[in-house]
Chain A
Amino acid sequence: MEDNEKLEKQQRERREFLSWLIGALACGTAAIAADAGPLHAFAGEQAAAAPVPPNPTIPGYDWTKHRWAFGVDATKCIGCLRCVEACKKENNVPADAHHFRTWVERYVYLEGEETAHIDSQADPVNIEASGSEREYRFADRYKDAKVVKAFFVPKLCNHCTNPACVQVCPTGATYKTEDGVVLIDHTYCIGCQYCVQACPYGARFFNDEKNVSDKCTWCYHRITKGLQPACVEVCPVGARIFGDRNDEQSVISQFIQNNRVHVLRPETGNAPNVFYVGLDKGVS
């Protein structure tokens, strides 16, 4: 009799344990299904992926009052690359030919050819011409060829309205701010580089010094103080334009209104916020 009772007790305990385990698993799954609502509280302000992120504590700045956008007039760019160098210095971007928050592409059509020869300042030939991975210039590599058409296209993060990088981030470390900028919380990023893969524009890179993903922030530390991004500030020809679309008289609002603007790769559905004038069919 005692044995039977013992057995029954054991069986009961086992059943209880298993029910508990199943219950715990179900709760875990339910929590994920519910977008782990309360769990987000742990994320703190920085990484919150909540629908309405809290206003950052920047003195005199209200991010609900701005809608930043960027313009590029490719017809004006002279390929001097001051923007690239300024960006590297301003944002402590690794000083080599493989990590860029912004870059400039050169398109050259030679006589009798249908497709453009494309290079950027990071091309080994151009790095050799500059003599350093910290300084940039375009080598005069087409001087003996018959050039039919040539132009420069500055590139940077498009701070998309539907950013693919934010979509794929597993932790919410990269997020879209209320004022339209896509940022990365370097203290929360796990460095999986899924976002680097997801960006169709190649705007993201892995920062090997910080072991996190990195990219252009439109110089968020400057624009929230009323300054221009470093690349815009140094551009000698006004090829880079930046401003607030909430202000109809701003230079960017005027740029978008007065020109027929394009965005890069509209077919991705990312809806970029860098608007271009003077693109060519070969640019993507």
Chain B
Amino acid sequence: MDALFQSSPFSGYVYPNETIIPWTVLIVVYPYLTGLVAGAFTISSLYQVFGFRQLRPVAHFALLVSLCCMIVVPLPLLLHLGHPERAFNAMITPHITSAFAIFAYAALFYVILLMLETWFVFRPQIVHEAQHAKGVLRWIYRVATLGSYDLSDNAMSYDRKWLFWLAIIGIPGAHGLHGYVGFVFGSLKAREWWSSDLMPAIFLFSAIISGTALVIVLYVVSCKLRKVPIDLPCLKVMAYSLWGFMMFTLLLEGVEFASLVYRGREGYDVIMQFVEGPLLIPFFILQFGLGSVLPLAVITFFIWRGANDRALVVGITASAALVLLAVLMMRYNVVIGGQEISKTGKGLLAYQPTILGREGILAAATVLVLPLILLSMVVRFLPPWHDQEQAA
């Protein structure tokens, strides 16, 4: 029989019940995905609301990235629950003192908002395909029109109004959703590593950089796959945004860490042991060095250099990929790291991830890949590429 639980080795003194880490890699993936949603939506909104014309080539694509990630967001949570079949209990009787009670409502609201926005954005294409596609596809598109075939100027200006307001609601919605995920951790007084007022802000800014980085990587990959030229001004604007938001993220993380060390409350010794020991590779090398300082330096170099060439594309894409790694490591270091420091303040635990099983690395990796598979299907059904329009 398989073991029902995976206990963790420890040093110092930890409470007997702490030897089983409650939240696993699935709960690392969950804030990572919500972050990607918020970040990709930000890129889409910069075009939709704030009129960043350079972002036109990726605006609709970013919206689909956001939607595909959001659809998968509840999955890691459901996989983690002891009784996933009871998940709706939180919706039937939301216990509103819980930071987690309204998550289901917030997520549902946001999925509907994203779907509505997607529908409005792609309505002209859907109507066109409903009239010109063949076979089963035609029927699918006809259903997707929701019975609305009107593409007159009047109707389109009406759509634009909706798009604008949906994005206006969507920005605080996406950012609120993710700031709230930060609050889920930051509001817990039982864990010194989590208990910080800055946690929601750190989660939010790291979300924006991860979503921007994902859109950069996926946009470049999609251009390569479709064999179309990459829009360099667009790529540059995204790189500048990434650079700016990374500055904020690093600053906030630095301030948070500094206050934790400076306050030096009970358990400080153990936290320092943790920081200097088990955290050395995942935090200082992967998250901070490789994932933050290096990409920041590379992007700074390309901004200074100014040339539009292949090296720029490679440099920015590689930096974005590193940022994606950094934010994943940040989620890991927060979620798992927080649980590796004992509540006693007198001991450390070592999380032992499993490969297989419901909460194993394989399950978490699958959850991470699912949005990409979903996206590869959705872009075929609703092509978000603007270069095709120009070519036509």
Do A197 and B17 touch (CB < 8 A)? no
Kindly state whether residue A164 has any CB partner on chain B within 8 Å: yes
Cα–Cα distance between A172 and B7 once the two chains are bound (Å): 28
Contact A32 B105 (CB under 8 A): yes
Q: With A49-B95, A208-B5 as given contacts, are A173 and B105 in contact (CB-CB < 8 Å)? A: no
| A205, B5: Cα distance in complex, Å | 12
State A18–B113 Cα separation when bound (angstroms): 11
**Which of B22, B82, B116 has a CB less than 8 Å from the CB of A212?**
B82
Chain A: interface residue count, which band? 35 or more
Bound-state CA distance A98–B83 (Å) is 21
Whether A42 lies near B93 (C-beta < 8 A) is yes
B94–A98 contact, CB under 8 A? no
A216: shortest Cβ distance to chain B, in Å?
Answer: 11
> Which of under 10, 10 to 19, 20 to 34, or 35 or more describes the interface residues of B?
35 or more
User: A192 to B79, alpha carbons, bound, how many Å?
Assistant: 10
What chain A residues lie within 8 Å of B147 (beta carbons)?
Answer: 10, 13
Which of B16, B99, B102, B191 makes the CB contact (< 8 A) with A98?
A: B16
Decide yes or no: A171 and B17 within 8 Å by CB, A29-B109, A201-B343, A211-B83 being known contacts.
no
- A255 cross-chain contacts in B, Cβ below 8 A: none
Decide: A118 and B13 in contact? CB cutoff 8 A: yes
What residue of chain A has the Cβ atom nearest to residue B113's Cβ? A25
Residue-wise interface mask of B (11-52) relative to A, using a CB-CB cutoff of 8 A (1 in contact, 0 not)? 001111111101100000000000000000000000000000
Question: Is residue A36 contacting chain B, with contact meaning CB distance below 8 A?
Answer: yes
Closest residue of B by beta carbon distance from A215: B17
The smallest C-beta distance from A164 to any residue of chain B, in angstroms, reads 6
B92 with A42: CB separation less than 8 A: yes
Which residues of chain B from 181 to 203 have any CB-CB distance to chain A below 8 Å in the complex? 184, 188-191
Residues of B bordering A, CB below 8 Å: 4-5, 7, 13-20, 22-23, 77, 80-84, 86-87, 89-90, 92-103, 105, 109, 112, 116, 146-150, 152, 154-155, 158, 162, 184, 188-191, 266, 339, 343-346
Query: Closest 7 interchain pairs by CB?
Result: A191-B82, A202-B15, A211-B82, A122-B16, A208-B4, A118-B13, A172-B95
Known pairs A11-B155, A284-B345. 16 more at Cβ < 8 A?
A17-B146, A36-B94, A39-B94, A49-B95, A120-B15, A168-B100, A170-B103, A171-B86, A171-B89, A171-B94, A189-B86, A190-B82, A193-B82, A194-B100, A202-B18, A210-B82
